[in-house]
Amino acid sequence: MCQKAIYPGSFDPITYGHIDIIKRALKIFDEVIVAVANNSSKRPLLSTSERVKMVKQATKGFDRIVVESFDGLVVEYAHKKRIGVIVRGLRMISDFEYEFQMALTNRKLAPDVETIYLMPSESYSYISSKLLKEAAFLGADISNFVPKSIEKKLKAKFKKK
């Protein structure tokens, strides 16, 4: 194993696909910082503090992870933390173009920070937080995609609306 890595994302909400990427990253790195982006331009359903709490609940019992939020560019956060590796999940070919653009932009902004991609298990490769929120809003059973505590939180959130 070597060094630390940052796994950034909105995690709105965290899914089994995200958890799978965290487990894979822990096989490679000594420590993984799960960095919850405070990006209001994405208009998340859940507040940053709710998402941090949910990630902590979903990864309870995992060794060698830290969960925290960050503002701004992930490469600036990486510099602040003195970490040179960003982990990203790559589910489908449709993710590739966006991820490729982001990695090249980050490389231009911070040539000392590398981005590596991990692919989740096939059973999680189609899961997206956006689709899960829509399914939960419409009352679907999402227990195969998120931990029970996350499912309860989403159901409660949609009852308030």
pLDDT means over runs of 10, the chain (161 residues): 88 94 96 92 88 96 96 96 95 81 94 95 83 89 92 84 56
- Give the number of other Cβ atoms within 10 Å of residue 58's Cβ: 23
Question: Residue 128's pLDDT is what?
Answer: 84
Question: Residue 130's pLDDT is what?
Answer: 86
Question: Residue 131's pLDDT is what?
Answer: 87
Cα 155 from Cα 140, distance rounded (Å): 10
Closest to 137 (Cα-Cα) out of 160, 120, 114: 160
Residues taking part in catalysis: 18, 42, 91, 129
Closest to 9 (Cα-Cα) out of 50, 52, 56, 63: 52
Distances (CA, A) of 125 to 82, 129, 131, 135: 31, 12, 13, 17
**What CATH number was assigned to the domain covering residues 4-160?**
3.40.50.620
